[in-house]
Amino acid sequence: MSMLSVDEALELMLKRARKVKGTDRVPLVEAAGRILAEPVVSAIDVPPFDNSGMDGYALRCDDVPALGSRLPVSQRIPAGSAAYPLEAGTVARIFTGAPVPAGADAVVMQEHCESLATGALVINNIPKRGENIRKAGEDIRRGTEVLAAGTLLTPAAIGLAASVGVARLPVLRRLSVGVLSTGSELATPGHAIGPGQIYNSNRYLISAVLKNLGCDVTDYEPLPDTYAATCRILRKAGALHDLVITSGGVSAGEEDHVRPAVETEGELNLWKVAMKPGKPLAFGKVGNADFVGLPGNPVAAFVTFHVLIRPFLRKCQGASRYRNESRGMVAGFEWNKPASRREFLRVRAGADGRLERFPNQGSGVLTSCLWADGFADIPAEQTINVGDTVRYIPIAEMP
């Protein structure tokens, strides 16, 4: 099976992504991180009435022909109360968000007014029509689609749904993912570490990322390094989940049993990707589930997940936006170790606006992933000098 480029691998995976079936209708407080199944259309104007943009006085502009005009206060309108039509030649004391009374065509800031002991108001600003008035429907018109199907329900999206009076949202079913890690050398945190063992970080890293993405995650115990056990557990997981993800065991060593087990229990469509870190990456099916086999090195697992698996997963979830986006940024570092594969360096934006590179880019240095806020996408065989423009993929802005 030939090695694919990053772009070829991504397109293959996206082409095979299957959108989850089934929907739920959940209250707003439970909707964060879900994918919207149907459009949300506003049944109201937002704001629903003309209202004041600040604390001040509502008036008719024609009643203020010059600076220093004096007018009596005829009513007081707090937010949440009703307003009466404004009497000619008077002003209304008004507060932010309160309805503008009929007849008023401007609101003057309270800082531009002076109250007299007689109860009159001195107006030290010539108002303009519409000043400091938020018009009904200026944000959202009734009948407008405010959220499209496939929208990731962020806090802003949920707030927008609430602003048009929607209490429950139709969302797609959560993607069910089984997570397995392989290797007899893996020890569970909290237990003593034995000879030749290391603690299993991938198991918790991958599960945490999946939960943050809104998946329903089943965390399996690590697989022993035997072909029969690997087949048995893959068969079980493939029957229960939409997606099965393993880490480790996808190379071609004598103790790497994931690839032959997947080929026995399903099919393998992808095995190697021309990227660094992360060349050994498997993709296919086991039973009814899609299958992804991540590299065993923790940084390689982290990078390949975000660059390739995350877009695939988001498309399976039904998200309308699933491709990672990049932008050009100036490098504040040198990179004189060109690789034969496309490389994803762990970097972050510095105080001067230029990218900083983590000093040790080894595929086992997990501290680089905590330190970084994104990846510098470096083409194969390319060096980087200070001041060069590089493609930067910010992790926080991934769909």
pLDDT in tens, the chain (399 residues): 689 999 999 999 999 999 999 999 999 999 999 999 999 999 999 999 999 999 999 999 999 999 999 999 999 999 999 999 999 999 999 999 999 999 999 999 999 999 998 889 999 999 999 999 999 999 999 999 999 999 999 999 999 999 999 999 999 999 999 999 887 788 889 989 889 888 889 999 999 999 999 999 999 988 877 889 889 999 999 999 999 999 987 665 545 688 889 999 999 998 899 999 998 899 999 999 999 999 989 999 999 999 999 999 999 999 999 999 999 999 999 999 999 999 999 999 999 999 999 999 998 899 999 999 999 999 999 999 999 999 999 999 999
Same domain, 188 and 302: yes
Same domain, 222 and 243: yes
Same domain, 256 and 160: no
Give the integer Cα–Cα distance in Å for 344 and 368.
Answer: 12
Q: List Cβ neighbours of 102 (8 Å cut-off, separation of 6 or more).
A: 83, 85, 86
| Residue closest to 199 by CA, chosen among 188, 210, 207 | 188
Same domain, 186 and 291: yes
Count of structural domains within the chain: 4
Give the integer Cα–Cα distance in Å for 370 and 275.
Answer: 21
**pTM for this structure?**
0.88
Same domain, 33 and 161: yes
322 in any annotated domain: no
216 in any annotated domain: yes
Same domain, 241 and 300: yes
1 in any annotated domain: no
Final residue before a domain boundary, out of 263, 286, 317: 317
Q: Which domain holds residue 362?
A: 327-397
Same domain, 130 and 231: no
Residue 186 sits in a domain of what CATH number?
Answer: 3.40.980.10
362 in any annotated domain: yes
